[in-house]
Amino acid sequence: MITTTRYKKSIKSPLEGTVLKPGRNNKKLGYKITKGKHKGKYLYSLTLTERDTCPTSCHHWDDCYGNNMPFAHRFQHGKELEDKLDNEIGKLVHKHNKGILVRLHVLGDFYSPEYVFHWSSLLNKYPTLSVYGYSARYDDNIGGAIALAGVLHPDRFDIRYSKNKDYSEASNFQYAADESFTGDFFDCPEQTGQVASCADCAACWQSTKTVRFLSH
């Protein structure tokens, strides 16, 4: 079984360069948020190493879209990364008056409860910081930490569980499904050409309805 990325030479130390990449480097993401609650903020992204940080239960373990991303810079996870994030975010929120929105994670996932709590502490420290993304960690202690962070920061920590499931007010969790899902959903507007980029959409951090993604 494959246990890490296919592109081991692409794994970088956080000390080798900037770990938060501006959304303008990624056509899908975009850069300046044009609508929704984060309008005016700037979008940045973080890429970790697929499989190294992911649960083996992820239904895209074998066909991860990272398999088709040989040139992505994947940053090693751990304390050096967390220290670097604190440093970079401090500079970015000073640079951008309205703040920043960080996409977690282009590749990879939350790798420990402590890492989730580190993001929660960063949200406490920097009021104009927000994050959004997707996680396959929904049935372990890391998933529990994600749920808690969502309760503590309901307007700035928008993580959807990667699961074919409808939103339920009872659980208050939000989901990201694959194209086999047939419940209550909206298709990703960027993938279907309705918007130019995530920065021009806002649906994933605005809507409670399940978002459905086409296979990469």
Given a cut of 70, is residue 4 above it in pLDDT?
yes
Task: Report how far Cα 101 is from the mean position of its chain's Cα atoms.
Answer: 10
pTM of the full predicted structure?
0.95
Given a cut of 80, is residue 100 above it in pLDDT?
yes
Given a cut of 70, is residue 216 above it in pLDDT?
no
- What pLDDT shows up at residue 170? 65
Q: To 5 degrees, how large is the angle CA 4–CA 107–CA 18?
A: 105
| C-alpha to C-alpha distance for 133 and 148, rounded to whole angstroms | 15
pLDDT tier for residue 193 given thresholds of 50, 70 and 90: very high
Given a cut of 80, is residue 137 above it in pLDDT?
yes
Q: What is the pLDDT of residues 30-78, one digit of tens each?
A: 999 999 999 999 999 999 999 999 999 988 888 888 999 999 999 999 9
Sheet strands (E) in the chain: 11-12, 21-22, 42-46, 74-75, 100-104, 129-135, 157-162, 175-177, 185-187, 210-212
